[in-house]
Amino acid sequence: MRGLYLLDYGAGNVRSLVNAVNRLGYEIEWVKEPDDILKAEKLIFPGVGAFGSAMQSLVEKNYVEPLKQYIESGKPFMGICVGLQALFERSEESPDIPGLGIIPGTVKLFNKDDNNKAVPHMGWNKANCLKEGKDTNYGIKQDKVYYFIHSYAVPYDENIKEWILSTTQYGNEIFISSIQKDNVFGTQFHPEKSGYAGLRLLKSFLEGYCSNNDDKEIIIKNPIKLSKDEFTKRIIACLDVRTNDQGDLVVTKGDQYDVRERSTNNDINCGQIRNLGKPVELARRYFDEGADEITFLNITSFRNCPLSDLPMLQILKLTSETVFVPLTIGGGIRDVIDPDGKFHSALEVAGEYFRSGADKVSIGSDAVYAVEKYLANNKKLSGDTSIETIAHGYGSQAVVISVDPRRIYVKSPEDEPNHHLIKTSFPGPDGELWCWYQCTVKGGREGRDIDVHQLVTSCEAMGAGEILLNCMDKDGTNSGYDLELINDVKNAVRIPVIASSGAGKEEHFAEVFNKTNVEAALAAGIFHRKEVPIQNVKNYLREKSISIRRDDSSF
């Protein structure tokens, strides 16, 4: 197809969209100057990050008027996420910055007090079509779920019914999840991150095919409010990546953070880095097996490597060519200095990862240091921490905090007045019934005088959008997740929480979802070694009536 253009205003991960288009057999050109917009025969506007940043960038690049002219010309247009939101008049996220004003209405923040739901809305949910008839639905399927990642949305409004293609319910709120009128199409969800269901939708737009119907008149229905939304739990596969003793990048897995093989009958591999496979190949396998997200945790320091040459960038680039679910990268998200002395801020480091295919970055040790600074400053935001700068530039939904805590037992609350304690059902070595969770840095090697409660609440205040909650005491034990820790964190924050460390069988996933209301559960070693396949986990959860994404086996 000639004349297919991508309007990239310098936001986050658009590589995945380009890869999805290429996967469908199409080439796409990039808008580099205002005149390119009017050259396009089809135009895709993928918005990632904050509404205000997107609109300001469009203004600075002189894209606003050509974009309006293009839409008015009648040529096909597709907006994704913020690309849809920008079509409206304004957003509560940036109230002083006007949108394109193509559609009347305001983008609003989700109600965080509604139904105890987490914000951002992050994960897989249904898009319920309200239009029936010719040239309407672009292949949106009622029995599929699509990937959403946003804190702001446009509430359903019957005054703009002619624009609304589908709605989605999150908690008790019903919002517009896709729009369609004449040549204009847009989705709040990310098709390029919605597996094969999303690829089919993109194909429908690229081929100009919208509906299975013939020449029927368009019927517009009203949304139906359900007693419970259709938001699904997420199963996340995690790949710990590091260099082995031969210098190759491999996926490994430790026991309580020790990734070297232990002695068993004079094993020749004793003491060597445990090698469980190649990162890109494993990621593709997990996508095929139905993982809802994939997380790479870089546990090797590349201090003598220039930022542009970091091996993890190449892994992300290659993975995003064939994996169409969200990708998170963790490890090394901090200010760095190249061997030649060139300084790169954490924001710049994150930007390199986003442009290479990451959707979210996971911040570990640097988050602990940022919280220490925040607390020492009487909980005043400095604006210059990695959390704050990345959240401002790319949106809070792009910032994950990876927490590595360990239990510290005490005999009574009076013994530790400076930290948040919980009464535990698992007594310590001397019968202690109280404990606090100490945050660690440097891969768990160094404890800090910060507890988990202080860390997660502070990070949420600084703009983080999700918590990846590990537990050193549970890591590699296959004994189940630390439910006490997870419940304590869930009660402390309103952002999504991923349970990690300890899964050893299908029942552990059901247990953590039923007993903690956590949004996602992550596992590593049991997936790598196929001890508990991902599909077995999902089948078991469905048997227990836990809402989970059904996977397409092929495109």
* Active-site residue, from 173, 229, 372, 404: 404
CA–centroid distance for 222 within its chain: 30
For the annotated binding site for L-glutamine, the residues are 81
Does the annotation mark 240 as catalytic? yes
Distances (CA, A) of 80 to 10, 178, 364: 15, 9, 30
Let me know if 353 is exposed, middle or buried by CB neighbors in 10 A (0-12, 13-18, 19+): buried
* Active-site residue, from 81, 238, 435, 471: 81
Distance separating alpha carbons of residues 259 and 272, to the nearest angstrom: 8
For the annotated binding site for substrate, the residues are 332, 470
Tokens at residue 412, please?
Answer: 């009574």
Does the annotation mark 81 as catalytic? yes
DSSP per-residue letters across 220-232 = EPPP---SS--PP
* Active-site residue, from 93, 229, 240, 388: 240
Contact 475, 501 (CB under 8 A): yes
Distances (CA, A) of 547 to 190, 493, 528, 554: 20, 23, 24, 22
* Active-site residue, from 192, 366, 475, 482: 192
Tokens at residue 101, please?
Answer: 């004003």
With H, G, I as helix, E, B as strand and everything else as coil, classify residue 182: coil
Contact 404, 331 (CB under 8 A): no
For the annotated binding site, the residues are 81, 332, 470
Tokens at residue 77, please?
Answer: 């247009």
Positive or negative torsion for Cα 191, 113, 230, 523: positive
Distance separating alpha carbons of residues 391 and 399, to the nearest angstrom: 6
Residue type, 541: L
Distances (CA, A) of 397 to 240, 323, 335, 492: 22, 20, 20, 18
The DSSP element (H or E) to which 30 belongs, if any, is strand 29-30
Does the annotation mark 531 as catalytic? no
* Active-site residue, from 8, 93, 150, 190: 190
Cβ neighbour number for residue 222 with a 10 Å cutoff: 10
Contact 171, 111 (CB under 8 A): yes
Distance separating alpha carbons of residues 463 and 456, to the nearest angstrom: 11
With H, G, I as helix, E, B as strand and everything else as coil, classify residue 309: helix
Q: Which residues are CB-neighbours of 467 under 8 A, at least 6 positions away? A: 400, 401, 403, 456, 459, 489, 493, 495, 496, 497, 498
Active-site residue numbers?
A: 81, 190, 192, 240, 404
